Structure 1
Amino acid sequence: MRYKSLIFLMFLLLLPALAWCQSQVQVISADSLNGMQVESAMVKKLIGKVVLRQGTTILSCDQAILNSSTNNVEAYGRVKIVQADTVTITGDSALYNGDLRQAYMIGRVKLDDHTIVLNTNKLDYDMNTKMAVYHTGAKILDKKTTLTSKEGFYNTVTKNFLFKEKVRVSDKEGGALKADSLRYNTATKEAFFICPTEIINKKDTVYTKSGFYNTQTKVSNFTGRSTAKMEDYTLTADTLFYDSPTKIGVAKGNVEFLSQKDKVVLTGKNGRYNGKTGITRVYGHALMRNIMEKDTLYLTADTLVSFDNKQDSVRKLYAYKHVQIYKSDLSARCDSLGYDMRDSVIHFYQKPIIWTNDSQSTADSISLYMVNQKLKEMRLRGHSFVISADSASHYNQIKGRKVWVFFNDDSKLRRVNVEGNGESIYYVMDDKKVTTGLNRVECSRMNLFFEENKVKRITFITKPEARFVPPKEWNDDLQVLDGYRWRISEKVTYKKLMETVNAPEISIPIVKNP
């Protein structure tokens, strides 16, 4: 028992010496060693194949001056510091503080931690915190990426890098990144954005302020207002996920999708883009603006889907639920819609209604054709009904199974062709614009010709049943066809359409049963 106590006491006495050995810089080898006394301090000058050690840190160089009192080393020529076989730093010269365990490297400095290689002219490295710092510019290399900046702070354990001033990242595949500050992890290859940043990848460019980007997988997740510019499109949102290899983008919050080729802008609360399929979906107060030469077509719906097939140049837009359209010479409502942007044809489905100047058209489905951005033709199918108001506030009416409507350059009625179960009421005026009566006609097939929204001529393909009625014999039933309904109060205006787009979303509270 007494023997064990003696051993323990000797161990306690040796602890300070062991700690001193770990903290003191020791000479391992040198070709020559000269000792001198400088102001009560012992200074050793070592020349040729100098090797020093402090704990797990090895320092080698061509020449060194070791001050044993201050525990400092001045190293010159092919300086190399290896810390625990994990970090290697080389340079032309160095100052090493053994008490603080800090190295100050100068001249052609290179740091290698088996993850990246850092090249600079000056580098400070702390053996305790494993932190490398430079302020004179550096280049960082890994297998696929090159990073440069004026200032940098690198933790060789966590692999976290903070770059400052003129940060540039490039890879072997042509990708690039530009920023004033950037956080980067050399192990995960993820860049974290803390200021305005530009990311370039082949034909795609992304602008952002916050979020992260994986330089290896090319996947981005931006949490601040960001913009992705692709070859033909631009996608902007409050938060944006973008996978460059698959060309899939998911956007949330104030989404804006711009097609430069078609001059089409889609906006909404949320959106999704697939560059390979050419499909873009925008929903939540969705709005399309088709910017034309002298006009703009506005279209809003619960959901808008754009389709662009580059192989056959097919460009289409689909709208679903609560569809509204406004243009200076027409407006419309329906529940679903298809817009062929290449051929300028719009197909309306599910209770469509279209207003053009002083006319109103309804049917089971309607196809609208435009030429040079002007309304030229409209095809109504199933329960077709056309109403036009003339200058005397009379309502000319045409109905049939199929109705083809043609417009002049002012988007006014020019001709109406009726096929199947045709009926019409049109008012007759003399040269003094005095109404002399109305014609009520039933004919399965007929063509009506208009001028200033007044019927000027009518041709019957089959035998008609016609009746002329003077004003004194008119009554309410005589002046309207079955199914007549003038819905001018529902007409879409620019103001009404924008109020729908900007309306707050309605949330229905969930009431639990008691």
Structure 2
Amino acid sequence: MKIKIIFIFLCFITFTPNLFSQKKINYKANWSETRPSYPDEIIMVEKVEFEHEGMKMYCDSAVFNEKGNHFNAFGNIHIVQHDSLHIWGDELYYEGISKIAEMYGEKVIMKDNNITLNTTYLILERVPNTVSYTQWADIYDNQSTLRSKQATYYMSDKEIRFAKDVEIKSEKTNIFSDTMTYNTNSDIATFYGPTNIITSDSTFIYTELGWYSTKTEESQSYLQSQMINKERLLQADTLLYNPNTKIGEGLSNVFLEDTLQRIILTGQRAYINNVDSNSYTFLTQMPLLRQINENDTLYLHADTLWVNHDTAMNVKEIFAYKDAKFFRTDIQGAADSMMFEMCDSLLTMLGRPILWSEESQITADSIIMNIGKESIYSVEMFPKAFVIQDADSLSETRYNQIYGKRMKGFFDKNNLYLVDVYGNAQSVYYIWEENKDKPDELLGINVGKGSDMKIYISKKKIDRITTLTDPVFFTDDEEKLTNEEKELKGFEWRIKERPLNPMDVFIKR
């Protein structure tokens, strides 16, 4: 029986250590008294001070329950813990057993190193060393103001975890979030729910996962990320932005849209500059531009797409560098580089440029095309301008050809109908007789030259040629002409480079 009692007593000691190891709250005051009606309570006034396990508490007056090891304090309350944590308020309840302090007041203030918290109700839990609030509070650091309805500050980790209606305000950025953490050492706010970031340069960022530095004002977004600046919408798996430099970056599944110009750019990496005087976006890693019209869509790809914006963030110029290629159902083209100016709808192509329009292949050292949203107006080629057409789909040796120092082609409803040739004009033209019941018959080949020419095209084929100055023409049977006479100098049929569908723009020449 004695052994059983001893065992029970040892278990009681082992599993209820707080009853024996709990330290009493120490106190002192200028004046104190105990009343018979409340023998366990000590009433204290004037320079009241409490100390409990390294934490000190000061107030004007207090009621201390020595038996229960807890007290209520009133007036000019000041809590100091480890010389770094300071809390001020009007009313305090502290319990020595749980080591929990509840502070009330018209303005409860907490300071810990470089942050200051203002609220009306605050809970300090010394184990696990946290400060929390359930009413609105403002938190200030050296750069920003954080405001939320509910949060817990983990002082050991220097991390504040916000639960509802979080706001961050700085000189250049306002942030509104649902769930967020903030590290007071790194000055990094991390978002875990729907978050809106608004910068002073009118940039709007939305994300559901990301971070923001109150020190540098940089932000990074990882989930459902998008950025809107005036008429430009940018989406990506990851978005980085700094409102101080107005420089940003989009990584993976980049989507950029100019709603006014109806232009969409996609790629795997984008760089953004929002400086008003020099705003631009450039995309790499499989970039693609789409200009959407009512009847058709233009697809443009190159190794790099560079877009300059106007002050309203509309697309102003587009530069396509290295292996540029575009597709539209009525016209296709390729060149080492291209430049498209939105204001006058001019597309400039350099570096072995080539165009295909219906049956025509157009080449020159430089090509400038006037292309509207709905139709093509004209195209200029210089120097060494060359137009080639397949004269016989059943043969790989018969081609209509036009050459000149300079040419200008004109379009009607996106069909090439006239080509003006200026300087050293030359032509090779296959003449056919149309038959209703049997294949067309080749009558001969017309070979001509002159200073200037006009080439008329009908039903996608050369219909007639007019030489304006110094004409020299002859027509002969195909068998009587040499290969040199049937092919003009510089002839090159490049049909294998032609994109046949939008995805062909990604195929290198």
TM-score, length-normalised on structure 1?
A: 0.82
CA contact (8 A) 1:37 1:43 kept: no
Distance 1:293 1:391, change over 3 A: farther
Q: Find out whether 1:464 has 2:471 as its counterpart.
A: yes
**Does the CA contact (< 8 Å) of 1:181 and 1:195 recur in 2?**
yes
Deviations, residues 137-173 of structure 1 (Å, cap 9, x unaligned): 43334465332223211134653211002222223x3
Name the SS of the counterpart of 1:497 in structure 2: helix
Deviations 1:239-273 (A, max 9, x none): 22211121111222222233334332222222212
Alignment partner, residue 148 of structure 1: 147
1:280-429 residue pairs with structure 2 within 5 A?
A: 280-308=281-309, 310=311, 315-389=316-390, 395-409=399-413, 411-428=414-431
CA RMSD of aligned residues (A): 3.3
Q: Deviations over 1:444-483 (max 9, x none)?
A: 3212222223444433232121012357867876654344
Distance in 2 between the 1:207 and 1:309 partners? 23
Distance (whole Å) between structure 2 residues aligned to residue 168 and residue 177 of structure 1: 5
Counterpart CA distance in 2 for 1:272 and 1:220 is 14
Q: Structure 2 unaligned runs (5+)?
A: 1-19
Task: Tell me the residue number matched to 2:85.
Answer: 87
- 1:221 is displaced (CA, Å) by 2.7
Tell me which moved more, 146-155 or 353-362: 146-155
d(CA) in 2 for partners of 1:150, 1:257 = 35
Distance 2:311 2:165 in 1: 38
Cross-structure match for 2:11: none
* 1:374, distance to aligned residue in structure 2 (A): 1.4
Cα offsets for 1:4-33 (capped at 9, x unmatched): xxxxxxxxxxxxxxxx99942223215442
Write the letter of the residue equivalent to 1:207: Y
1:453, 1:404 → 2: CA distance?
Answer: 17
For the 8 Å contact 1:403–1:417, the answer to whether it is kept is: yes
Q: Percent identity?
A: 30
CA contact (8 A) 1:65 1:74 kept: yes
1:352 Cα deviation from its structure 2 partner = 1.7
Q: Distance in 2 between matches of 1:266 and 1:48?
A: 72
One-letter amino acid of the counterpart of residue 70, structure 1: G
Is 1:43 aligned with 2:41? yes
Structure 1: gaps (5+ residues): 1-19, 502-514
Q: 2:94 aligns with which of 93, 96, 102?
A: 96
The farther-off stretch of 430-439 and 449-458 is: 430-439
Query: In the alignment, what sits opposite 1:440?
Result: 447
CA deviations on 1:164-199 (whole Å, 9 max, x unpaired) are: 02222223x363211111011345432112223211
Q: Bigger CA drift: 101-110 or 413-422?
A: 101-110
Closer, same or farther in 2 for the Cα pair 1:65/1:151, shift >3 Å? same
Aligned mates of 2:505, 2:458 — CA distance in 1: 34
Contact in 1 for aligned 2:22/2:97 (Cα 8 Å):
no
DSSP 3-state at the match of 1:320:
strand
Distance in 2 (CA, whole Å) between partners of 1:325 and 1:99 is: 76
- Contact (CA 8 Å) 1:33, 1:47: kept in 2 or not? no
| CA deviation string 1:75-102 (max 9, x = no partner) | 3455443335433323443321124332
Q: Which position in structure 2 is the counterpart of 1:29?
A: 29
AA matched with 1:101: K
2:370 and 2:182 map into 1 onto residues whose CA distance is 54
Give the 3-state SS of the residue equivalent to 1:339 in structure 2. Answer: strand
CA distance in 2, matches of 1:21, 1:127: 16
Residue aligning to 1:481: 488
Between the aligned partners of 1:56 and 1:473, the Cα distance in structure 2 is 113
Residue of structure 2 in register with 1:166 after alignment: 165
User: Aligned residue for 1:505?
Assistant: none
- Structure-2 separation of matches of 1:48 and 1:312: 66
In structure 2, what residue type is equivalent to 1:233? R
Q: Distance in 2 between matches of 1:122 and 1:416?
A: 83
Deviation string 1:275-298 (CA, Å, 9 cap, x unpaired) is 222232211111111223432211
**Secondary structure of 1:69's aligned partner:** coil
Helix, strand or coil at the partner of 2:352: coil
**1:242 aligned residue:** 241
CA distance in 1, matches of 2:118, 2:484: 93
Distance 2:205 2:312 in 1: 26
Distance 1:403 1:312 in 2: 36
Which segment is superposed worse, 394-403 or 441-450?
A: 394-403
Task: Note the alpha carbon deviations across 1:77-136, whole angstroms, 9 max, x for none.
Answer: 554433354333234433211243320224435132153332334321023544101234
Contact 1:398 1:424 survives alignment (8 Å): yes
Decide whether the 8 Å contact of 2:172 with 2:243 is kept in 1: no
> 1:491: Cα distance to partner?
1.7
User: Which letter does structure 2 place at the counterpart of 1:403?
Assistant: M
1:352 aligned partner, one-letter code: P
Give the Cα–Cα distance (whole angstroms) in 2 for the partners of residues 60 and 311 of structure 1: 59
Residue 125 of structure 1 aligns with an amino acid whose one-letter code is L
Farther off after superposition, 108-117 or 177-186:
108-117
Change (3 A) 1:313 1:273: closer
Residue 235 of structure 1 aligns with an amino acid whose one-letter code is: L
| Aligned mates of 2:193, 2:315 — CA distance in 1 | 39
